[in-house]
Amino acid sequence: MKKLFVLCLFLSAPLFAQQKGITLTGRQYVLREDSFTDRPYGEDDISYGAYLDMFDGIGGWRIGASYATGLSGPGEADSVITPEITLLGAEGVWESGFSVMMDYIDDETGTDWSDIYYQFQLGLSIPVGGTFQLGIHGYFPVSDMGDFLDISFSEIDYGVSLRAKF
């Protein structure tokens, strides 16, 4: 049922949005001690992502994936590809989002998909010229929607982004 929900979100994306952009991200992970400890990321692991953003007014969608290799988290994964779809909200320089994600994990036992999980994000995206935006964001992934109430600021992942609008 959850996979069907993700497919419906993807198919409902506004492909003919008024504003589109390509976003490149870099993200540093923190050590999880309380929330969502089974993710394959460890302290100071870094992932890089490429996404297509589609905005119509103050809302929009982000579709893409991130990639990380040489990870130090649980399971000692060799690499992880994380496709995601994100419902974005933007007002001025503020940007927020809610993502649905899955990890494709390659480790010593083979490859496998993780369960679907969710992520909340909040950040600033500052215009640089007419075409580009630089951003800094905080991310809080959760395995269950109820875990959002247990947010700990020491477990927020941080990232930077560069968006080119077209």
Task: Give the tens place of pLDDT for each residue, 21-55.
Answer: 999 999 998 876 666 767 888 888 899 999 999 98
Cα torsion at 10, 12, 15, 20 (round to 10°)? -70
Global pTM exceeds 0.85: no
Give domain 2-165's CATH number out of 1.10.3720.10, 2.40.160.20, 2.60.120.10, 2.170.150.20: 2.40.160.20
Residue recorded with tokens 């050590």: 31
| pLDDT, tens digit, 9 for 90 and up, residues 52-78 | 999 888 899 999 999 999 888 777 789
CA 25 to chain centre: 9
**b/e map 50-61, b = 16+ CB within 10 Å:** ebebbbeeeebb
State both tokens at 104.
């494709």
Question: Which string of DSSP letters, residue by residue, matches 1-64?
Answer: -HHHHHHHHHHTS-TT-SEEEEEEEEEE----SSS-TTSS--TT-EEEEEEEEEEETTEEEEEE
Q: Which of 161, 162, 165, 160 is nearest to 131 (CA)?
A: 165
DSSP state of 130: T
The span from the CA of 97 to the CA of 89, in Å, is 6
Q: Identify the weakest region by mean pLDDT among 18-22, 130-134, 135-139.
A: 18-22
Residue 86, pLDDT above cutoff 80: yes
Query: Which sequence spans correspond to the domains of the chain?
Result: 2-165
Q: Which of 116, 139, 164 is nearest to 10 (CA)?
A: 116
The span from the CA of 146 to the CA of 67, in Å, is 27
